[in-house]
Chain A
Amino acid sequence: MKKELVIIGGGPAGLAAAVAAYDAGLRDILILERDERLGGILNQCIHNGFGLHTFREELTGPEYAGRFIKQVEERKISYKLQTMVLELSHDRIITAMNREDGVFQIEAESVVLAMGCRERSRGALNIPGYRPAGIYSAGTAQRLVNMEGLMPGKEVVILGSGDIGLIMARRMTLEGAKVKVVAELMPYSGGLKRNIVQCLQDYDIPLKLSHTVVDIQGKERVEGVTLAKVDEKGKPVPGTEEFYTCDTLLLSVGLLPENELSKKAGIKLNAVTGGPIVDQRLATSMEGVFACGNVLHVHDLVDFVSQEAMLAGKSAAMYVQMQTKDYDQPIALLAGEGVRYTVPAYLVTEEMEEPVTVRFRVTGIKKNCKIVVYQGDVQLLSKKRPVVAPGEMESVLLKKEMLHTKEAIRICVEEG
């Protein structure tokens, strides 16, 4: 089988990429989705708050996904469900498998990676204690509750104040469970401010910052966990232990872009984001392969995923239509003082017809600061921010006419 564009993943990123590629003129598009339906993780996000930027209304996750699924259906873009991609080769041959076709291969002229991310597990955190039933990642619990109608527990402690953890604190409470506490290792929450207010404060669920789980009790089912305060280095402070009886521990301790396919294909990854290194077209280091959504870097808002994915879809279409050119030396984009990473990581100026949105995360909470962009010693732009936090993605807009040299560009967070 040959395809002009294969999109790996039919979640919000894959759907938007497909629509944009179609609208840019491609017709021979195939979406490969491993789950039983399109929409990805949005299908289990039944709370509202999606689409404020894209549709200017508050939608639930399935509603938001539904809008894009409709667009895919209207354009008659083909897709295969319950189809797992097993391998992506150096020359863009995709090996996949499902019930109907068995194992099959597709020669793809271009590829959009939209595989999303996975949750960090207990094991990766080395939380000591027993290994009983009742320890779930927040997303697994969310799937059980919202899609299967099953309650994973009745008395809950949540570690990590990422958005899924916060959402699940409210969800479990509404379903009659007692959420005793949310503990967060960092001195600030990793989730959105609005979720802290609407999911914890509104339900009187305490949030313990600078706390972690130091022991899990229960040989068969969770019987309780011990929390302790941590110092600046994240080490538990002896004497601060507090025991909470509970039958469930939910973990919302970080998301990891799922790039096993990309790695095996030899695509270069950014050590900070865990996602591919891309230019402003979202082109990866492998020719004809683009990336978007949470497989590229973890987002807070699906609206930004959709925007990014539309760019990836459009770029893939342009690649198929025009093929590659010989580009000049690209301009590097660097994470300067106070910035963890930037996406993209470099700019190919020949292709910079439109302004480029550079998304990035800051390293810590800072109040009354400014975001400053330098190229060499020249300041390209500066914008004031009342507060920035690692849990909220930031962005700046770069235009071609700002750039006069090939020197690296640095984004920094500065005082005042």
Chain B
Amino acid sequence: MYDVVVIGAGVTGCACAMELSFLNTTVLVVEKEADVCCGTSKANSGIVHAGYDARPGSMKAKMNVEGSAEMEALCARLDVPYKANGSLVISNTEEGRAKLLRLLEQGKQNGVKELRIVEKEELRKLEPHLVEEACCGLYAPTAAIVCPFELTIGMAEVATLNGVEFQFETKVEAIKPVEDGYVLTTTSGEVRAKTIINAAGVYADELHNWVSKKKRRITPRKGEYYLLDKEVGNHVACTIFSLPTKAGKGVLVAPTTHGNLLVGPNAEDGTDKSGTNTSRHGLQEVLEKSGRHVANLPMRQVITSFAGLRAHEEEDDFVLGEVEDAPGFFDCLGIESPGLSSAPAIGKYLASLLKNKLGLAKKEHPIRQRKAVTRMKDLDLAQRNAWVEKNPAYGTIVCRCEEISEGEIMEAIHRPLGATTVDGIKRRTRAGMGRCQAGFCLPKTLEILARETGIPMEQLTKNGRTSSYIKGKTK
């Protein structure tokens, strides 16, 4: 019997797992996919929001401001790419100014620092590629960008180092309350837990509804994105937003921590919770809206497009905490934007609730840091040579677009919670994330993965289950 079973290994589940791993307790994370960071956490804008968007007094506002205040230090500890690039909400008309002022006021109430209105001239200086009509903006210097994959992976690795167990390709099919907690029926057998953290993203409502009479409903709200080549990654410096509407913050244009340019998302409510397919009309919508504030977007430099699903809850706020009629069952439900920004705070908050509930003590010397996979590209000549000398595999480039070496891929496989799939390698090293989209490196990556894990070629997958690449040998 575990003290805590966390359902879902996205950024929220992994933040909870990491914070719990600092306490004396037993934790299991179950995840239906083959790796951490496979749902909403892998397909979002990668933005650390300043915190002016959420309604004052809401959980979203509280968690966002706390989470983003902590993000930089957390990323430093976890060796996760983070950049305080600032954000701008742009208005193309003077009528929009009133809305910006309301956002400014809201931000101040939420405790966001350094927020201010900037005028046309300064806007131009900050962002030379804004459209001519851009007349004023809300500038948030504390807004930042973060690599969502590495943040999630980093937290999961720290949790692992402190003894948290992870079980992948394990789908929870039923939850029953028993005298001393819960019994979870999963595709990998039964699990018993004193308490449960429900961090199941778009599926969190279904789990919640199994144990509670107060029903919740999550709508998967799809957002589609374009990712552009690094060559044009500096088209904007800040994250550029439109004035928000009911459907959210609208289509943004932002650099990523790895130097690409991200354009999206739209917002479209659907019913299929695994419907992460892009659509012609969705991509078209993003294209049309992308140019509202940023001129001459180099859309010919698109290297891929993708879609993510926001877990939109009807009451439009995060639902965090113990479910009233299900003692020991804790929800992290409705975690849509600013979920990534809030993750560090949500993790802490849930861990504090569990600490009180179970009377847990702090661990004496928990591990709080981790080193990411070596990034050869970022090292100087002497440092790189030292790595090649230590292991010649660091001298062989496998992914030429992102300049990722065989050594880095091997590292991604042989580490706590190491990669077992091609996507797992991609998210830990960036191999295959570049402009050729793995056209050149896929065969080599498969070969290394098979060699290092002993998994036969035919059984290697993109991201688990039936997503295999190879359908047999040639004649």
**A joins B in a complex:** yes
Residue in B226, B303, B385, B395 with the greatest tally of chain A CB atoms within 10 Å:
B395
In the bound assembly, the distance between CA atoms of A150 and B472 in angstroms comes to 6
Q: Which of B418-475 contact A (CB under 8 A)?
A: 435-440, 442-443, 447, 457, 461-475
Set B283, B388, B393, B471: member contacting A153, Cβ < 8 A:
B471
Question: Is there an interface contact between A144 and B470, defined as CB atoms closer than 8 Å?
Answer: yes
Question: Is there an interface contact between A99 and B396, defined as CB atoms closer than 8 Å?
Answer: yes
Give A179 Cβ to nearest chain B Cβ, in Å. 14
Instruction: Using A150-B474, A176-B475 as known contacts, say yes or no to A128 and B280 having CB atoms under 8 A apart.
Output: yes
Instruction: Using A84-B397, A129-B278 as known contacts, say yes or no to A103 and B381 having CB atoms under 8 A apart.
Output: yes
* Residues of chain B within 8 A of A123, CB atoms compared: 227, 302-305, 437
Q: For the complex, is A100 an interface residue (Cβ under 8 Å from B)?
A: yes
Set A139, A148, A152, A248: member contacting B439, Cβ < 8 A:
A139
* Residues of chain A within 8 A of B465, CB atoms compared: 220
Give A351 Cβ to nearest chain B Cβ, in Å. 33
Question: Is there an interface contact between A151 and B470, defined as CB atoms closer than 8 Å?
Answer: yes
Q: B interface, how many residues as a size bin?
A: 35 or more
Set A102, A118, A221, A248: member contacting B384, Cβ < 8 A:
A102
Instruction: Using A34-B400, A97-B395, A118-B436 as known contacts, say yes or no to A152 and B471 having CB atoms under 8 A apart.
Output: yes
* Residues of chain A within 8 A of B439, CB atoms compared: 118-119, 121, 137, 139-140
Question: Is there an interface contact between A144 and B443, defined as CB atoms closer than 8 Å?
Answer: yes
In the bound assembly, the distance between CA atoms of A123 and B400 in angstroms comes to 17
* Residues of chain A within 8 A of B280, CB atoms compared: 128, 214, 236
Q: Which of A78-119 contact B (CB under 8 A)?
A: 82, 84, 86, 95, 97-103, 118-119
Q: For the complex, is A219 an interface residue (Cβ under 8 Å from B)?
A: yes
Q: For the complex, is A132 an interface residue (Cβ under 8 Å from B)?
A: yes
Main secondary structure of the interface of A (DSSP, over half): mixed
Set A130, A152, A221: member contacting B277, Cβ < 8 A:
A130
In the bound assembly, the distance between CA atoms of A263 and B84 in angstroms comes to 28
Against A, the Cβ 8 Å flags (1 = close, 0 = not) of B206-227 are 0000000000000000000011
Q: For the complex, is A124 an interface residue (Cβ under 8 Å from B)?
A: yes
Q: For the complex, is B128 an interface residue (Cβ under 8 Å from A)?
A: no
Q: Which of B246-305 contact A (CB under 8 A)?
A: 274, 276-280, 282-283, 302-305
In the bound assembly, the distance between CA atoms of A124 and B403 in angstroms comes to 20
Question: Is there an interface contact between A220 and B437, defined as CB atoms closer than 8 Å?
Answer: no
Question: Is there an interface contact between A133 and B461, defined as CB atoms closer than 8 Å?
Answer: yes
Question: Is there an interface contact between A128 and B436, defined as CB atoms closer than 8 Å?
Answer: no
Given contacts A102-B389, A143-B443, 11 further A-B contacts (CB under 8 A): A34-B400, A82-B396, A84-B397, A84-B403, A103-B395, A118-B440, A121-B437, A140-B443, A148-B443, A214-B280, A221-B468
Interface CB pairs A-B, < 8 A, 20:
A82-B395, A82-B396, A84-B396, A84-B397, A118-B436, A122-B304, A128-B277, A128-B280, A128-B283, A132-B462, A133-B461, A133-B468, A144-B443, A147-B443, A149-B473, A150-B470, A150-B474, A175-B474, A216-B277, A220-B463
Q: Across the A-B interface, give the 9 residue pairs with the lowest CB-CB distance, nearest first.
A: A123-B304, A99-B392, A102-B385, A133-B462, A121-B437, A84-B397, A102-B388, A220-B467, A99-B395
